[in-house]
Structure 1
Amino acid sequence: MRTITEGVLDSSRCPECGTDIQADSRFTTWCPDCDWNVDPGGPEEKKSRLEMLRRTLAQRHGEKLLATMSADAAEEQRTPRDVYGVLAYAIALLIHGVTAVLFVAGVWCLVSGWGGFLMLPGAFLLLLGWALRPRLGRLPKEEATGVVLRRSDAPTLFALIDEVAKASGTRGVDAVAVNAETNASVRTYGLRGRLLTLGLPLWESLSPEHRIALLGHELGHYSNGDTRRGLVLGSAFRSLALWLYYLSPDANPTNALQIVTNLVISVPRLLVLGVLMLLDTLTLRATQRSEYLADSAAARAGSTEAAVGLMDRLLVIDSIDIILRSEVNSRRLRRGGQARGTEGDGLWEELAAHVASVPESEYERQRRAGALRGHSVDATHPPTHLRRRRLLDGAAVPAVVAADEERVGRIAAELADARRVVAREVVRDGVDGA
């Protein structure tokens, strides 16, 4: 029986140019000579006007920044202090000022109108101001996010992170959250705490060299002045998102009151949306610059080759999600015949084997399709093909951090319990969208 990591090699001719095509049955058949069927899905569907604006600006700023940073190597050493950044901070402070006014107004109404009519609006304003307040991040709860590791839980992993952080010009993290997302990220909690989140579907799909590049990229955000992740701007974006949530119209109004309410909240909602789009536009260039610099940090830590290879892996994330969903569904169907607690055994090995079996032709197709679509990790990242081109056009750099077998083995042992826990959770709860 053929496994999910094996495909049938089909031979056919391109209907456009007649070239012989060797295709893996698991992936899209396409022609490398004329690009026939290179992107059968077509452009990605845009979900909203804000998303469309972000994508357009990401492409525009990404191309301009690529030209600027490629022409001036010293650009990497500069911390930009432009009028856009000043305006963004001013708007963020104004947003927090509105929150403070709501809170103070609520307190005033409660104190001055105690026992009277002002108690109701006072309580409402106080609760609204409290909900919108800037707040320090917290460590995630383990029951909601997999497993949270401290230094004593995984000393070799944290030593690797510290070494990568040093190569990236920053310090390490204080905690690592291991979960089932096909992603990795960093954020701050408390006053100075740093949390690195490693999604096992992504981590287990990478080679040791790619993992070092991934760590370098994420930690590089701390060393390159990524202000959008800071308390002032980050909390301003969260406040605006909450405003949009509170001002969400009823999708299917059924009576006059709901219709009138939708009309009344449409004006403040458009105002909030406009402020969000303005703040997004003002910070997008700095955010994209931060992504380019984080790529440089990835290359310094793991080598240019590893950083470029990491981007190729990101192009096949959809394939990783599909194979994980298929494997999880298969295990859930046969769960009755498995011993309790073993339903997740071998899940990550199967996923890694699938990624290792992806042919180079599929990576090349994804690279070409990504360039046509302007593919990016999300709407705030520069297009992936521009990030890749910048690294390849520059001088290749070797790895600063080594990924020897002994270290890889020790880290795998330290993550063994987390891998089992997350695998069981994935099989038990399924994958989003499954």
Structure 2
Amino acid sequence: MTETADTVRTAERTCPECGAPVDEGGRYVTWCAACDWNVDPETRDEEPPGRIDRIRRRLAQRYGEQLLADLADPDDGAAPGAAADRPRPRTRLGVAGGFATAIALAVHGVTVALLAGGLWLLVRGHGGLPVVGGLLIGLAIVLRPRFGRLPKEEDHRPVLRRGDAPRLFALLDEVAGAVGTTGVRTVVIDCDANASVSTYGIRQHRVLRIGLALWETLPPQERIALLGHEFGHYAHGDTRHSLLVGGAFQSLGTWRYTLAPQPAHGLMEHFVNLVTALPRLLVGGVLVVLEHLTLRQSQRAEYLADSTAARAAGAEAAAGLMDRLLVTGSVVGELRRECVAARTRIGGAARRDDPSEGLWERLAAHAASVPEREYERLRRVAERRGHQVDSTHPPTHLRHRRLTRGAPGGALIVLDAARAAEIDAELAEAKRSVARELVRG
């Protein structure tokens, strides 16, 4: 039996399945904690995932459970000083990692061979061979490893440097140092419900991307956990964050896109699809193998990054961050509603001259209003569905279980209200800029 939240608001305060008392959910789903009646009422109309996505999901569940059993508690209840002195495990390369590295070298070797062959044909070829050589060179350029770049000004994502936000960068340096790595060169602010640390340029400078739809819904200590997790990928040597293996995934993705079958409207399209069928299968097979070889390492790196989050911010804050990830869909939906309301100036007097004013405060208030009962329901739903941030992450409920199964540990860094307010003041103009772009659509 399934009912929507609107339907169950008028239901009896007893569970129709087991008769246990049930609290009305209000604008949230009414469900029974005793028997899980109506715990997951939504019907999902999403299309079944593709073959590679199904493989990723099955492997993620299997490896996530195995690694949960293998890895120790994230903090073991140690005091902050002891946690800081303890050696930090790194993601081990192993046999699978060695094979993944070999495949990555082979993928990049194909790109180099295309470039070399194209140059040879261009210089030494006769007749139409130089044309073929030019095509090979162009293909090699398309498949080359990318070094990343910062957003351009027209991307409407503010880019901050140390002089723009010294207190924020001081906090980033402190968190990075606490987990055993270095800070970032720049910070990019956008509207996403996400955050990440990546690299850009030939010199591989680090950049932190802060998505305000996530950052603004987190209390200060959970922001430390978020930063500790992202920096933890570099502290533990995550294979998929490396230029070699990450670049191979990028090249294979480009190959798959280039070789994808085209709508056949004539004989030529049928011929092209037939010719590219075998290379397409080969690229797909290599991608699946590389996914399989690196997924366990990637999931281990995620668990270890959770450990750095727990050391930096405390296990309670790190577990709280896992809960916030479960409500990102609701937060993004609320953000869309707020933007529509701002565009149409609903409640215009309250919004004054700038319809984007107070957007992030209202979003934070929405996130803070989510009751604990709803978080518990979402944890149970996540376990049923195998919720993941993406296919490279262990299931979220397993990450939450690992962070809460040991004795609570202390935090290496405590972000008090005064310091958090100073950092918010540094971000104020960037937040206004992103909010205005959102409202403009």
TM-score of the pair, normalised by structure 1: 0.92
Q: Is 1:173–1:194's contact at 8 Å kept on the other side of the alignment?
A: yes
Distance 1:426 1:47 in 2: 30
Within 5 Å, give how 1:70-89 maps onto structure 2. Answer: 70=72, 77-89=89-101
Local SS of the residue matching 1:77? coil
Question: 1:28 aligns to what?
Answer: 29
Q: Is 2:311–2:412's contact at 8 Å kept on the other side of the alignment?
A: yes
Question: 2:81 aligns to what?
Answer: none
Q: Which moved more, 1:20-29 or 1:75-84?
A: 75-84
Question: 1:5 aligns to what?
Answer: none
The reply to whether residue 301 of structure 1 matches residue 302 of structure 2 is no
Question: 1:41 aligns to what?
Answer: 42
The reply to whether residue 108 of structure 1 matches residue 120 of structure 2 is yes
CA distance 1:121–1:158, change in 2 (3 Å): same
Within 5 Å, give how 1:375-390 maps onto structure 2. Answer: 375-390=387-402
Q: Which moved more, 1:37-46 or 1:154-163?
A: 37-46
Question: 1:373 aligns to what?
Answer: 385
Question: 1:219 aligns to what?
Answer: 231
Within 5 Å, give how 1:78-157 maps onto structure 2. Answer: 78-113=90-125, 116-144=127-155, 146-157=157-168
2:276 to 245, 260, 265: 265
Local SS of the residue matching 2:149? coil
The structural deviation recorded for 1:37 is 1.5
Local SS of the residue matching 2:196? strand
Distance 1:180 1:71 in 2: 34
* Residues 288-311 of structure 1: CA deviation (Å, up to 9, x unaligned): 010000001101111100000000
The structural deviation recorded for 1:154 is 0.4
CA distance 1:379–1:297, change in 2 (3 Å): same
* Residues 229-265 of structure 1: CA deviation (Å, up to 9, x unaligned): 1110111000001001111112x42222222322222
Question: 2:245 aligns to what?
Answer: 233
Local SS of the residue matching 2:225? helix
* Residues 358-395 of structure 1: CA deviation (Å, up to 9, x unaligned): 01111000000111111111011001111111111223
Distance 2:347 2:405 in 1: 54
Question: What letter corresponds to residue 30 of structure 2 in structure 1?
Answer: T
Question: 2:58 aligns to what?
Answer: 56
Q: Is 1:102–1:125's contact at 8 Å kept on the other side of the alignment?
A: yes
Distance 1:320 1:79 in 2: 33
Q: Is 2:91–2:301's contact at 8 Å kept on the other side of the alignment?
A: no
Q: Is 1:335–1:343's contact at 8 Å kept on the other side of the alignment?
A: no
Q: Which moved more, 1:25-34 or 1:357-366?
A: 25-34
The structural deviation recorded for 1:201 is 0.5
List alignment gaps of at least 5 residues for structure 2.
1-7, 77-85
The CA RMSD over aligned residues, in Å, is: 2.3
Question: 2:429 aligns to what?
Answer: 417
The structural deviation recorded for 1:169 is 1.0
Local SS of the residue matching 1:24? coil
CA distance 1:332–1:19, change in 2 (3 Å): same
Question: 2:15 aligns to what?
Answer: 14
Local SS of the residue matching 1:171? coil
CA distance 1:341–1:380, change in 2 (3 Å): farther
Percent identity, aligned pairs only, is: 55
Question: 1:363 aligns to what?
Answer: 375
CA distance 1:401–1:122, change in 2 (3 Å): same
Question: 1:331 aligns to what?
Answer: 342
1:287 to 285, 288, 298: 298
Question: What letter corresponds to residue 58 of structure 2 in structure 1?
Answer: T
How many residue pairs match? The answer is 420
* Residues 56-88 of structure 1: CA deviation (Å, up to 9, x unaligned): 000100111111113898996254131100000
Q: Is 1:187–1:196's contact at 8 Å kept on the other side of the alignment?
A: yes
